[in-house]
Chain A
Amino acid sequence: MFGWELPPLYSGGLGIACHGLTKGLSRQDVKITFVLPSGQKDIKQDYMNIVFADSETSEDVKIIQINSILTPYLNSKEYNEKVNYLKSLAGNEAFIYGSSLASEVTRYTKAAAKIALNEEFDIIHCHDWMTFGAGILAQETSLKKGKRKPLIVQVHATEIDRTGDNPNNFIYQMEKYGMERADKIIAVSNYLKNVITHYYFINPDKIEVVHNAIEFGDYECDETFNLNKNYKIVLFLGRVTLQKGPDYFLKAAKRILDVRDDVRFVVAGNGDMWFRIVEESANLGIGDKVFFTAFLNREGTNRAFKLADLVVVPSVSEPFGIVPLEAIRHGAPVIVSKQSGVIEVVNSCLTVDFWDVDEMANKILGILDNNVLYNELKENGKKELEHVTWDNSAKKCIEVYNHVLGGGKW
């Protein structure tokens, strides 16, 4: 499996999903070689083994790190900034990474293919476009070794979702090529399946939906916040980028603050729109009632959820969306945009079109002002989550594995 980030280094949902699914699979006796880029982070091997230690058959997960500075969601501009920064530390000669995002992906792909040469495997499973090349090369390697192994590409989000109809062509082509070469595509929602068929012209029969899930466990935060004694808190948590709709969150906040003073808003996370959003809060004159945190680690995220009375996830396009599940797990009701895959697995949330700011404001106040509705969403949400487990997702994933191993074509 060509995957991403492991805890506690998550920068977003992709890492969480890879980790959750891998754990679910290993609990059902699937042996996994987990390959991931881990350039600057330099994770210790014994730590890596602990990561999967709570799955029953932890020895079944083998982890291989490739020295690369790729991270999920990286775009060309951010990559170049990172390269410049690292060069300033190490000097040009010591620099081993690609000079552009594309060349670094190529470098990673070649390194991954070498691993495929030495490893035994039956199926190749890769996650999102940066690893598609690695999967394809691994498949070609397997063919040279005698038996072509099936390739499964799992899509968590496409360039279309991330950029809103303004895709980087290189990435789009890479995604499309991977989807075409794959024996089967796993999409994390029907919503995403639609995007893939519409924008990438893939036969829907080739696509299976395996929803993401959520891990229950020790996520409690027993801190109390004085801010809660004085205000109702509405939380936006996620990358502050176009895809996640932070600007619509601010506009809804403005609507509410025009008429009420007992609600406060928190924007947690960073991203390429962060500066603009901070400035916009001042432009709208609500900068004293919208609070910002920069990027939060696991612990910080738990605190933010604890602080929140209500979580709004106004994504412009969200193939799945793990944040709403996390919010529900923490006992916070959620409002999710209709452009989200997560609403296929939970019903105990309110939905709104991301652009419909009035309705968003309306529903925020509706939940905050109505205790019955508030508790209903809170309690039922938790109940629903009991069925949204990684074991269930893994089961579906194994069905897909069996299908392709049985020579099943789509």
Chain B
Amino acid sequence: MVSVCFYFQLHQPYRLNKYQVFDIGRAKNYFDDMKNIGVLQKVAGKCYLPSNKMMLELIRKTDEKFKVSYSMTGVLFEQLRDHAPEVIQSFQDLSKTGNVEFLSETYYHSLSFLFSKGEFKEQINMHKRLIKKEFKQIPTIFRNTELVYNNELANFIENMGYKGILGEGADHILQWRSPNFLYRPKTTRKIKLLLKNYKLSDDVAFRFSSRDWNEWPLNAEKYAAWINAVNGNGNVVNLFLDYETLGEHQWEDTGIFEFFKQLPFEILKNNDNNFMTPSEVVKNYDTVSELDVHNIVSWADVERDLSAWIGNNMQMLAIRKLYEVGQEIIQTRNEEFANLWRRLQTSDHFYYMCTKWFNDGDVHKYFNPYDTPHDAFIAYMNVLADLKIRIKNWRLENEKKNFERRSRKNLARL
């Protein structure tokens, strides 16, 4: 028996304006609305809408045997709500089929787990409320931003009541083990760990249209055969992908949609195979052993660590300074400030500052709205400086008001 478990990530950040030093203190719009709306509408047209339509058809045509799960960030949801509500509608339609599961994550696609546990918990709960309200589901499975994972996280998430958690099936944590089983994270009692089968996932995500790849061209039959091969030495094949793989990273003319339309039928040709959502996987399978992941893993780059977001001093400084103002922002109880601060936590901002292959130019560049990581750093720090000034002025204003109120009270008493 092999269960195929699809999970697609859905996320778009609020990209920043090229905020100038001259604008610091002027409280101009931090976000590049034109760019953000442009990207959103492009991706909605090329990926979200056609893919959702395809998923709905696949569920119907397979007599509801096909299943799929999504993790949608709050920041994407807000942008869709404001600029492409038809996409939300199509996700709600999918949710109603009962074959589509929404996972839990941080509302702002943040790395808050590493910097503030309180903030982390708050963002998970915000996201949970959103999913419940919009998709009428209560998520029981958690996936952290960029699949950042370790024992401590699993323990924390278990204590929040979750039944399962997603992680990267990186070689260095698995060693001789297979990603096609469930594991029990060390330091936990019940929570189950689903690991990404990165080879099969990346065959679609990265290699699908690569003519240098000796398996090119990939068709559904061949891919189903690779999944069949797991039969007998695994329970589940976890295919974790960015949703934009469909139609955006792999353009329509690569044949990605045709591939996907055939895939469920090819997989179901073997009666031993089926599709499951992560919560079904957790319900149906037991863990085979404990897995000890002390150091953090993620799903990024060959290093599978945090170096894409906090690998250089620009990134470290930016994120440290961001969380330094956290306490102060929470104390203002000002929703606008909190929202701005949280949007600045989105991991993409730090990804843009990555210098790992700055000189070669590569995938980092493709996703980067800035010319260089240094430009990203500068825009970010300028925005942060502006936010700090706004908070300071707001506080001074408030203190003044309080003082006046107290003085009036005292006068009245006299």
Binding site for B on A (CB under 8 A): 223, 225-227, 229-230, 264, 266, 274-275, 278-279, 282-283, 285, 287-288, 291-294, 303, 307
Asked whether, in the complex, the Cβ of B378 is within 8 Å of the Cβ of A225, the reply is no
- The answer for the CA separation of A288 and B24 in the assembled complex, in Å, is 12
Q: Mark B20-60, 1 if CB is under 8 A from A, else 0.
A: 11101110000000000000000000000000000000000
Q: Jot down 11 A-B pairs with beta carbons below 8 A, ordered by A.
A: A223-B22, A225-B26, A226-B25, A230-B392, A278-B314, A278-B374, A282-B312, A287-B317, A292-B374, A293-B20, A307-B22
List the 8 closest A-B pairs by CB distance, nearest first. A226-B25, A291-B21, A282-B313, A282-B314, A278-B374, A282-B317, A287-B317, A288-B321
A278 to B317 CA separation, bound complex (whole angstroms): 12
Complex CA gap A225/B375 in Å reads 22
Q: Which of B22, B24, B372 has the most CB of A within 10 A?
A: B22
Chain A residues with Cβ under 8 A from B318's Cβ? 282, 287-288
Q: List, in ascending order, chain B residues with CB within 8 A of A285's CB.
A: 317
Give chain B nearest CB distance to A281 CB in angstroms. 8
Known: A227-B21, A307-B21, A307-B22. A279 touches B389 (CB 8 A): no
Complex Cα distance, B357 from A15, in Å, reads 37
* Interface SS, B side: helix
B330 within 8 A of partner (CB) = no
Whole-angstrom distance between the alpha carbons of A158 and B21 in the complex? 33
Considering the complex, give the chain A residue whose CB is closest to the CB of B27: A226
CB distance from B316 to the nearest CB of A (A): 7
Question: A287, B314: Cβ atoms under 8 Å?
Answer: yes
A225 cross-chain contacts in B, Cβ below 8 A = 22, 24-26
Residue in B316, B317, B382 with the greatest tally of chain A CB atoms within 10 Å: B317
Kindly state whether residue B84 has any CB partner on chain A within 8 Å: no
Q: How far is the CA of A287 from the CA of B318 in the complex (A)?
A: 8
Q: Are A282 and B377 in contact (CB under 8 A)?
A: yes
A266 with B377, Cβ < 8 A, contacts A278-B314, A288-B317 known: no
Which of the residues A226, A229, A278 comes within 8 Å of B378, measured between beta carbons?
A: A278
Total contacts A-B at CB 8 Å: 70
Interface contact A291-B24, CB-CB below 8 Å: yes
Q: From the candidates B20, B24, B355, name the one contacting A226 in the complex (CB within 8 A).
A: B24
Chain A residue, CB-CB nearest to B24: A227
CB-defined contacts of B372 to chain A, threshold 8 Å: 275
Distance between A85 CB and nearest chain B CB, rounded to angstroms: 14
The residue of chain A having its C-beta at the shortest distance from the C-beta of B318 within the complex is A287
A278-B374, A287-B381 are known contacts; what are 6 more A-B pairs with Cβ within 8 Å? A230-B25, A282-B313, A287-B313, A288-B318, A292-B378, A294-B375
Q: How many residues of B contact A (CB 8 A)?
A: 25
Q: Is B263 part of the binding interface, using a Cβ–Cβ cutoff of 8 Å? A: no
- In the complex, which residues of chain B have a beta carbon less than 8 angstroms from the beta carbon of A264? 385
Q: In this assembly, does B384 line the interface, its C-beta being within 8 Å of a C-beta of chain A?
A: yes
Q: Please give me the residue from chain A that is nearest to B25 by CB atom.
A: A226
Contact call A282/B24, Cβ cutoff below 8 A: no
Residues in B whose Cβ lies below 8 Å from that of A266: 21
Interfacial chain A residues near B25, Cβ < 8 Å: 225-227, 229-230
- The smallest beta-carbon distance between A88 and chain B, in angstroms, is 14
Bound state CA distance, A274 and B378, in angstroms? Answer: 12
Task: With a 10 A CB-CB cut-off, give which of A230, A288, A291 has the most chain B CB atoms.
Answer: A288
Interface string of B351-383 (1 = CB under 8 A from A): 000010000000000000000101101100110
A291: contacting residue among B26, B312, B378, CB under 8 A: B378
**Could you tell me the distance between the alpha carbons of A398 and B80 in the complex, rounded to whole angstroms?**
70
**Contact A291 B316, beta carbon cutoff 8 Å:** no
- Contact across chains for A279 and B374 when beta carbons are under 8 A apart: yes
Q: Are A303 and B317 within 8 A (Cβ)?
A: no
* Chain B residues, Cβ within 8 Å of A229: 25
Partner of B313, one of A283, A292, A307: A283
Partner of A230, one of B317, B384, B389: B389
Please report which residues of chain B, range 64-120, place their CB below 8 angstroms from some CB of chain A when the two chains form the complex: none
Distance from A183 Cβ to chain B, minimum over Cβ atoms (Å) = 47
CB distance from B352 to the nearest CB of A (A): 14
Q: Hey, which chain B residues are within 8 Å of A282, CB to CB?
A: 312-314, 316-318, 377
Q: Which residues of chain B come closer than 8 Å to A287, judged between CB atoms?
A: 313-314, 317-318, 321, 377, 381
Minimum Cβ distance to chain B for residue A265 (Å)? 10
Chain A residues within 8 Å of B314, by CB:
278-279, 282, 287
B26 contacts across to A, CB distance below 8 A: 225-226
Interface residues in B307-350 by Cβ distance below 8 A to A read 312-314, 316-318, 321
- Nearest CB on A from B310, distance (A): 12
